[in-house]
Chains A and B, each alone.
Chain A
Amino acid sequence: MLKPFRLLRPATIEEASRELTRLGDQAKVYAGGVELLLLMRHGMVEAEYLVDIKRIPEMDVLSWDGQHLRIGACVTHRTLEDHRLVAEHLPLLAEAERHVGNVRVRSQGTLGGNLCFADPHADPGTVLLVHEATVTLAGANGRRELPLADFFRGMYDVALEEGELLTGVSVPPLPAGWRGGYQRFEQFYRPTLNVAAAVRADGDRLADVRLAAGCVGPQATRLSDLEQRLRGLPLADALRLVGESAPYLEQRLEPIGDLLGSAAFKIHLTKVLIGRAITQTLPSPAAFAVTVGPGGLGWGNP
């Protein structure tokens, strides 16, 4: 049973922002509820007011403007997993969304909620980082755009000011000639670790590369220095360098040892998944580029 609260259902961003500013810590933004209601049930979040933002029209936009896919904050994971525009422009995001929680969580949970909750163990953020996505935030002082990399500030921490809302995400597809790869490993309903890669290949060389890793430390992170060192290398040299990248990854990702594995194990797994994700982007991926699926307990995978 949930503790009683009051519900506000603003029709505009301005109204929502005003209420959030007025109520401060007493109010929580409510969209799909898959994270928030669990925390409220367990008493980890106290909310006297829930501000339901699903009636604000722009929150469920999903549109292509010729350069970006614009995804409203309240678009559900199921929609992203299934939608023609996502499959066409952001197939890597569609793949990541397919793994979020389970089908019920995906029916109800929203991309905006996932990003704002900023659980370190999440799927979409890692992929959106290699897409160089931008978030739109709106509040009393108007609107601002922020690279997703700057929106993530740490564990369960994002760059939202008081009274500010995430209204949506703008995601450019990978540039022409680039291909994406997404690798993940899962033990208990959330990814233990994930890696996204985007590569522009020139023969067997990595002409250009973007990499992001999630779930290792407090937040999903682009691996810019490693990307720079891999640029122009033949695949074999690049994979060797990835294999030697533990010191950099430790410093960059701040790995956290927990029930899912020690910090050293996570760095090892990061190296392995980076190698697989890069290989997955190549026109004929090697046999080991296999995504570890949701698995589930007992259903198995053929």
Chain B
Amino acid sequence: MITEAIETLQTIPVLLAINGQEWTGEVPVEEVLLETLRQRLGLTGTKRSCEAEVCGACTVLIDGQPVSSCTYLSFEADGKQVTTVEGLAQSDKLDPLQEAFIRNVGAQCGYCTPGQLMAAKALLLRNPHPTYGEMSDWMSGNICRCGCYVAIAQSIFEAADAPHLAAAQQAG
């Protein structure tokens, strides 16, 4: 359970659809979605890192749109679909992005990976066949300090059924 270091002044009842499961509860107005997910709900796949909307490690989808859960107040998600990395796989079946990241070793330390996956998922939901430029523009807000960009790009294009694009367009 969350421990409130400082007493909250106001809570708001919310109904969240998290990875397809409904959750209702009261959240303090100042609580950010990252805290709700990790501390209240135990969904620790979403990572805390820069807390400044720069690095992308805490990326989750709200109604399919990527947001930085570190700087998104939880009450804003009331009535919305929240998708985290835990919701990518369908029961035992990994998402094609997850399979491609594993196949290509699209990670080294793995800390940024949940955010990379969620940003890539949002891209492919909106644009199933991105060009290299569209992909790199979209993903430019997700930083991998280990520098696995080539393998991540390859994984995204394989998941988009266009593995040839990664190598060909990057070279071009």
Interface residues of A (CB under 8 A from B): 1-7, 33-34, 37-38, 41, 50, 78, 98, 101-105, 107-108, 189, 293-302
Bound together, the chains give a CA A78 to CA B8 distance in angstroms of 32
Nearest Cβ on chain A to B84's Cβ, whole angstroms: 14
Q: Which of A3, A34, A37, A298 contacts B144 (CB 8 A)?
A: A298
Bound together, the chains give a CA A107 to CA B62 distance in angstroms of 10
Q: Chain A residue with minimal CB distance to B6?
A: A4
Question: At the interface, yes or no: B5 with Cβ under 8 Å from chain A?
Answer: yes
Interface stretch of the complex, out of B17-25, B26-34, B89-97, B98-106: B26-34
Question: At the interface, yes or no: B125 with Cβ under 8 Å from chain A?
Answer: no
Q: Which of A3, A41, A299 contacts B140 (CB 8 A)?
A: A299
Bound together, the chains give a CA A97 to CA B82 distance in angstroms of 25
Given contact pairs A4-B9, A33-B73, A301-B133, A103 touches B29 in the complex (Cβ within 8 A): no
Instruction: Say whether B139 contacts A296, CB under 8 Å.
Output: yes
Given contact pairs A6-B9, A102-B56, A107 touches B67 in the complex (Cβ within 8 A): yes
Nearest Cβ on chain A to B122's Cβ, whole angstroms: 7
Known: A1-B6, A5-B29, A7-B29. 9 other contacts (CB 8 A): A1-B35, A6-B9, A37-B73, A41-B51, A103-B138, A104-B141, A295-B140, A298-B143, A300-B149
List residues of chain B with CB within 8 A of the CB of A103. Answer: 66, 119, 122, 138, 141
Instruction: Say whether B7 contacts A104, CB under 8 Å.
Output: no
List residues of chain A with CB within 8 A of the CB of B137. Answer: 98, 293-294
Nearest Cβ on chain B to A70's Cβ, whole angstroms: 23
Q: Chain B residue with minimal CB distance to A98?
A: B137
Instruction: Say whether A107 contacts B139, CB under 8 Å.
Output: no
Instruction: Say whether A101 contacts B53, CB under 8 Å.
Output: yes
Bound together, the chains give a CA A6 to CA B29 distance in angstroms of 7
Q: Which of B67, B139, B142 contacts A108 (CB 8 A)?
A: B67
Can you pick out 29 interface pairs between chain A and chain B where the beta carbons lie within 8 Å of each other? Answer: A2-B32, A4-B6, A4-B7, A4-B29, A5-B29, A6-B29, A37-B73, A38-B52, A41-B71, A101-B53, A102-B53, A102-B56, A102-B140, A105-B141, A107-B62, A107-B66, A107-B67, A108-B67, A108-B68, A108-B71, A296-B139, A298-B143, A298-B149, A299-B136, A299-B139, A299-B149, A300-B136, A301-B133, A302-B169
Instruction: Say whether B56 contacts A104, CB under 8 Å.
Output: yes
Instruction: Say whether A302 contacts B133, CB under 8 Å.
Output: yes
Bound together, the chains give a CA A103 to CA B118 distance in angstroms of 12
Question: At the interface, yes or no: B41 with Cβ under 8 Å from chain A?
Answer: no
Q: Is the interface of A mostly helix, strand, loop or mixed?
A: loop
Q: Chain B residue with minimal CB distance to A7?
A: B29
Nearest Cβ on chain B to A273's Cβ, whole angstroms: 20
List residues of chain B with CB within 8 A of the CB of A301. Answer: 133, 136
Bound together, the chains give a CA A206 to CA B147 distance in angstroms of 46
Q: Chain A residue with minimal CB distance to B148?
A: A298
List residues of chain A with CB within 8 A of the CB of B170. Answer: 300, 302
Among B7, B30, B149, residue most surrounded by chain A Cβ atoms (within 10 Å): B30
Instruction: Say whether A4 contacts B30, CB under 8 Å.
Output: yes
List residues of chain B with CB within 8 A of the CB of A296. Answer: 136, 139-141, 143
Q: Mark B62-88, 1 if CB is under 8 A from A, else 0.
A: 100111100111010000000000000
* Interchain residue pairs A-B with the least CB separation, the first 7: A102-B141, A296-B140, A2-B30, A299-B136, A7-B29, A107-B65, A4-B9
Nearest Cβ on chain A to B26's Cβ, whole angstroms: 13
Nearest Cβ on chain A to B62's Cβ, whole angstroms: 8
Q: Chain B residue with minimal CB distance to A301?
A: B136
Q: Which of B5, B141, B153 contacts A101 (CB 8 A)?
A: B141
Bound together, the chains give a CA A4 to CA B67 distance in angstroms of 22
List residues of chain B with CB within 8 A of the CB of A6. Answer: 9-10, 29
Nearest Cβ on chain B to A291's Cβ, whole angstroms: 12
Q: Chain B residue with minimal CB distance to A41?
A: B51
